[in-house]
Each structure stands twice: as structure tokens, then as C-alpha cells.
Amino acid sequence: MRFVFALVAFIGAVLMIGAGVAQRTVLLEPDHVTREVTIENPTTYMVVDQEALAAFAGQQTVTASGSPEVFLSYGRTNDVLAWIGDTAYTSIGYDAEEDALTSSLITPAAEPGDEPAPEADPDAPADTADEDAAEPEENPDATGSPSGSDLWLDQFAAENVLRTTVDIPEGITVLLASDGTEKAPSRVGISWPLDNSTPWAGPLIAGGALLFLIGVFFLITGIRRHRRGRGPRRNVGKSAKRLPSAPKPTSRQIGRGSGRRAIGRSRIAVVPVVAISAMALSGCSADYWPDFTAMATSTPTAEPTATADGEEEPVVQEVTPPAVTVPQMERIMRRIAVLAGDADSERDESLLSDRFTGPAFDAREANYAIRASLDDYAAPAAIRASPITLILPQQSNVWPRVVMVVTQNEDDPTEAPIALVLQQQSPRENYHIVYEMALAPDAQVPPVAPASIGAPIISPEFKGLLMPPGEVAAAYADVLLKGSESEYDELFTVDGDVLREQLGVRGQREIAASLPDTADIEFSNEVGDGPTVALATNDSGALVSVEIEQREKVTPNDGGTIGFEEGSPGAALSGFDGKSAKGVQRRVSLQLLFYVPGVGSDGTITLLGWSENLISASEVK
């Protein structure tokens, strides 16, 4: 009977191990699914829609080919389409019924009076573009390379063939192009991973190995039992003669007689070899076993909460997304830091214009001109890419967009943090630094929203603050000029305002006292050309960035002449090293960052940071 059990165990082991191995070999499902599309007449740009990217679950491996240079980027759908603008492009979608990628030509919206743009034939084959659609006549001014745009969350480039794996969530779109002038890749494929795990392969192989061991046990015990009961049993009679004893075996015979133990050892050695092999096959991967953790961690789906009247709670309105994400802004700051460093070292204004504008550009431009004549003149403060201690993007999906960033010099903690205000005027333009201000030593920046939420922009005419943002610059300019006699003096915090001490009434008196008796000086302040940028804070206040220009006009009062001091920044910037009977003048740009509390607050307007830069000097005309 033991032999029967052993035979059944061996057969079961073979079937179970065979079934487990077959699941991982001949019966194994594919580990990915791929859908491809070929475009007969590709446009300059190609957009892979969300429906195509989400055709299957999991990360997407995008393969693009068919052009000498292949560029891939992804960003918010609104940003991608805004960057493309009025240029015709190819849209890659997904047909669920045909289970295939589709391509269609998207043309700009027709102006009133124009003929409507032709639509793609919905019956066109899934793997080719609409051959009947005319190739678009693109606007050359609208084309350009998408590489390096600040709108992208990430970008990749390769020659001939590009293959990359991304994880595109909802609301994100992929953009494919070449160099912005050549046609986009004509072949696109998207692959998604498939779950081809075989959770019963491990149990089958392990169970088969266990049955094999059981079969071996029955076989060995059956053989031993059979040997013990082998041969007839004889009764010895009383008169039977005693047989002579058998001769003793020689040493050679003893050696040959030990073969039974050798056979037993080799048979027993087979058992662990087979068992270990089966266990190795069944335990080499988690795909061989059921995943009980997923079942344990699954949570029930939340149900809508009903109100007391039995009505469901209203759906919360979607908040406008921030202009940039944190990784996006960190990448932008790295690019700006490199460019600013190169421009500062080479004093290259043309290079500077790629990332600076407004008051920030004027300040560096003047600094370069002064340093061209004065080698010992201080260079502008370096733009640090990290660490970034504050990122406050505007909540916006339109343009222009604004972001405020505060960076710190990690090598020198005593250096004041720098507050930067960046602005992106249009989708095709990158972010430019508009304001660059050093924070005051004791500056207390009020709580603001996290970067993942952003802050709404506040209109210059908004009256929900202690003072409308558009009036802050003029009011502070009056305070600097008149001091406590200004009608706005009580609205501004006096304690800790170092700038008021340096350039206010007290500072102006010190400057006038340093001039010779034969010269008079006249001060005037006015609102600069820089934009008023106001971002909301959590306490209903606002961070307001403005520019004030302070003018100094020095004239002789005795009928003589006067000029800039030799070797002074004014002389270097103006190029005027003589004397003038009309006098000389300087223009200083003050970039200012204020905290303006909300209406009803007990606080006052506080100066958080500033920068002072000589931007113009000349003879009085």
C-alpha cells in the first residue's frame, strides 16, 4: 500500500510542479502592452493627449522616432497648448473600441469670416494620420524649439530614436517635436506594464516538492518493510543437524559487501537536491506568490456624506493651480543662477536680457558699465540656486504669471537672504527676474500658502488692504522725502526701517552736509517704471513689490562749476569727468518689498527688504 501512496504522491508532484513551471514559461502572459501609431504627414509639433497616456494603467514608456532629432517634454495640458498657440499640431488620442492609438490634425481656431478648419476623418485607420487632410501652412513666427521652456515639468532629447519611461498623471500632456523647424517624429509608440505575476506558481511548485518528499518517504518505508518480510519462515526440528558455520569473509569481500550503504546514501542524497531545486524555483520572485499585503491594506471607498436634509454636500470648487511646481521652480533657479553667473563675470548685457527685465535688469546693466571703468567696484549679489527657503507662485493658468522666491547663501549664513520676484509675460517666454531685494536683518515674512497651492495675485486697486498696492510706492516715496511730516508717515513702521535712516530726511541732510558750500543739492522721489506686484498672504494681507526712483541734482550756487568726484561711480557711469556750470545729477533705483496688512488690522506697512542701485548719472541738461 505504501508503494501506491508513493506513486500517487509522485504523480501529484509531477503535475503540480509542471503546472507551476508552465505558468512561468509557456503559459506566462506578456509583461507589457504596446500601442503604436504612424503619421503620414507629421506637423512641427505633436501632442499626446491624456486619453492616450491613460489607455492602460501604470507608467508609460514612450518611444518616438522618424526625425533626426527627437524632443519630448511634458507639462500641464493648458501650458502645452498655450505654448503651441496658433500653430497647427498633430494630436495623438486613443480609440477604446478599436483598442488603438489615433492621430488627428488640429488647426488654429478660425477667425470670424474665415472658413472653418477641416476636421480629421474619424474613419481613418488607427495607425495612420488622415491622408485627406491638407498639410497645414504654419506661421514661421509661431514655430520655435520647445527645448528649455520653463513650462515643462521635465524634458528629454535624443537623436533618431527617443525612449523614456514617465508617469504622467491626469491633467498632464506630452509634447513631441524635433528642433522646432523640422517635422515632429512620425512614429510614436506607448507601452504600459502588465501584471503577469503568477501567484499560484510558487504554491504549486512548493506543494509539488512537498508531495515529492512524501512520495520518497512512502517509497523508502515501503522498501524497508518489504525487505524485512522477505522469504519463508522455517521451523527447525528437534532432530535436525546443526549446519556448519559459514566461513568468515575476507577483507575484500567485506569491502564489496558495503555497497548497500553506498546505494542508500546516494538515494538519500537525491531527496535534498530535488527539494532544493523546487524550492529555488518557487522562491526566487515575489511574482510566484499571492500578495496578501494588498488585501490587508485595501480601504473601502468613501461614500458621499449626506446633510441633515438628506442632500449630499456640495462639491468643493476646484482651486486654480499654482503657476509652477517646486521641482519646476528649482530647475528654473538653477538655469538662472548659471546664466547670471556667466553674465556677471563677463559683464554681458545681451546674455543678461535672457533672464532679467525691469528694475533688476537696469541695476545690473548699470553695474556692468561702472565695473568696466572701476575694477574694484562691487559686483552684484550672486543669484543662488539653493537653498530656496520660500517659493510663492501665483495661482494662475493665464499670463502674465508671477513667482516670488527667497534664496539663502548656505556658505555664508551672515549674508542677507535674497527675495526675487519673477514674471513670465507669455507662454513662449521664460521667467525673468523683475525685482531682486535683500531682506532686512529682522524681517518677519508673514505666513503664506505652500508652494503646492500658491497665492492669488492682488490688483493694484484692491481696497481690502490698509492701502491699495498701487499707492504704496508713492506713499513711501513721500515718507522718504518728508519724514514725519508726510501724511502717510503713520501708515508705515518706523522701527527697523534702515532705509529711511539712510535715504530719508536724515540721510539727505548728511549728504547735503558733505557737499562744499558752493554747491546745492535737490532731492526728488517718484514711482519707478517697475510693475506693482502683490501676492496675498494667509492673514488677508499682501507682499507688495514696487520701485521708487530717487533723484539727486547738484548745482553750483556761486556761478562756478561742479562735477562728479574723480573715480566715483557717477563719473564712471556717466562718462563725464569734467566740470559743468549746470550741475550734475544721479538717479538711484530702490527696489522695495513691503508687507501690507489687511483692512481692520492693527499693524502698519512694513519694509521687509530692498536694494539700492545707481542706474543713471549725467550732466544736467
Give the pLDDT of residue 293: 59
> Which helix (H) or strand (E) is 215 found in, with range?
helix 201-228
Give the pLDDT of residue 209: 83
| Number of residues written out for the chain | 621
Give the pLDDT of residue 9: 74
Tell me what percent of the chain is helix, strand and coil, each rounded to the nearest 5.
Answer: 30, 25, 45
Higher pLDDT, 273 or 415: 415
Give the pLDDT of residue 471: 98
Cell 504669471 locates to 401
d(CA 334, CA 277): 54
- Contact (CB, 8 A) for 360 and 435: yes
Could you tell me which of 529, 534, 541, 536 has the C-alpha nearest to residue 590? 529
Which amino acid is present at 579? K
pLDDT band at 212 (very low <50, low <70, confident <90, very high): confident
For residue range 227-254, list pLDDT tens digits in order.
776 655 555 555 555 555 555 655 555 4
d(CA 133, CA 176): 20
- Contact (CB, 8 A) for 431 and 150: yes
pLDDT band at 124 (very low <50, low <70, confident <90, very high): very low
Give the pLDDT of residue 268: 45
For residue range 353-408, list pLDDT tens digits in order.
999 999 999 999 999 999 999 989 999 999 999 999 999 999 999 999 999 999 99
Q: Taking residues 163-178, report their average pLDDT.
A: 93
Give the pLDDT of residue 312: 57
**Residue 481 Ramachandran class (φ > 0 left, ψ -120 to 50 alpha, else beta):** alpha
For residue range 584-600, list pLDDT tens digits in order.
999 999 999 999 999 98
Could you tell me which of 352, 594, 335, 314 has the C-alpha nearest to residue 466? 594
**Residue 541 Ramachandran class (φ > 0 left, ψ -120 to 50 alpha, else beta):** beta
Give the pLDDT of residue 199: 66
Count CB atoms within 10 A of the CB of residue 419. Answer: 27
Give the pLDDT of residue 119: 41
Q: What is the 3-state secondary structure (H, E, C) of 558-574?
A: CCCCECCCCCCHHHHHH
- Contact (CB, 8 A) for 617 and 570: yes
pLDDT band at 127 (very low <50, low <70, confident <90, very high): very low
How does the average pLDDT of the chain come out, rounded?
83
With a pLDDT cut of 90, the percent of the chain lying above it is: 58
The answer to which of 295-304, 481-490, 546-555 has the lowest mean pLDDT is 295-304
Q: Taking residues 95-99, report their average pLDDT.
A: 90
DSSP string, 454-466: -B-B--TT--SBS
**Residue 474 Ramachandran class (φ > 0 left, ψ -120 to 50 alpha, else beta):** alpha
d(CA 169, CA 74): 11
Q: Taking residues 482-490, report their average pLDDT.
A: 95
- Contact (CB, 8 A) for 399 and 495: no
Q: Is the dihedral of CA 459, 463, 464, 467 positive or negative?
A: positive
pLDDT band at 267 (very low <50, low <70, confident <90, very high): very low
Alpha helices in 490-600 (DSSP H): 498-503, 505-513, 569-574
For residue 507, give the DSSP letter: H
Position 202 pLDDT exceeds 60: yes
Q: Taking residues 480-494, report their average pLDDT.
A: 95
Q: Taking residues 80-101, report their average pLDDT.
A: 92
Q: Taking residues 120-129, report their average pLDDT.
A: 39
For residue range 433-457, list pLDDT tens digits in order.
999 999 998 899 999 999 999 999 9
pLDDT band at 210 (very low <50, low <70, confident <90, very high): confident
pLDDT band at 112 (very low <50, low <70, confident <90, very high): very low
Cell 500601442 locates to 35
With b for 16 or more beta-carbon neighbours within 10 A and e for fewer, the 462-472 pattern comes to: beebbbbbbbb
The answer to which of 261-270, 425-434, 465-474, 543-552 has the lowest mean pLDDT is 261-270
d(CA 538, CA 598): 10
Which amino acid is present at 111? E
For residue 384, give the DSSP letter: P
Longest dimension (CA), the chain: 167
Position 302 pLDDT exceeds 70: no
For residue range 43-59, list pLDDT tens digits in order.
999 999 999 999 998 88
Could you tell me which of 260, 409, 217, 397 has the C-alpha nearest to residue 321? 397
Q: Taking residues 283-311, report their average pLDDT.
A: 55
Cell 449630499 locates to 312
The answer to which of 8-22, 300-314, 462-476 has the lowest mean pLDDT is 300-314
**106 to 81, 156, 606: CA distances (angstroms):** 11, 24, 51
The backbone torsions φ and ψ at residue 476, rounded to the nearest 5 degrees and listed phi first, read: -70, -35
Question: Contacts from 463-468 at CB under 8 Å and sequence distance 24+?
Answer: 463/599, 464/540, 464/598, 464/599, 465/541, 465/542, 465/596, 465/597, 465/598, 465/599, 466/491, 466/596, 466/597, 466/598, 466/599, 466/601, 466/603, 466/604, 466/605, 467/491, 467/596, 467/605
Give the pLDDT of residue 224: 79
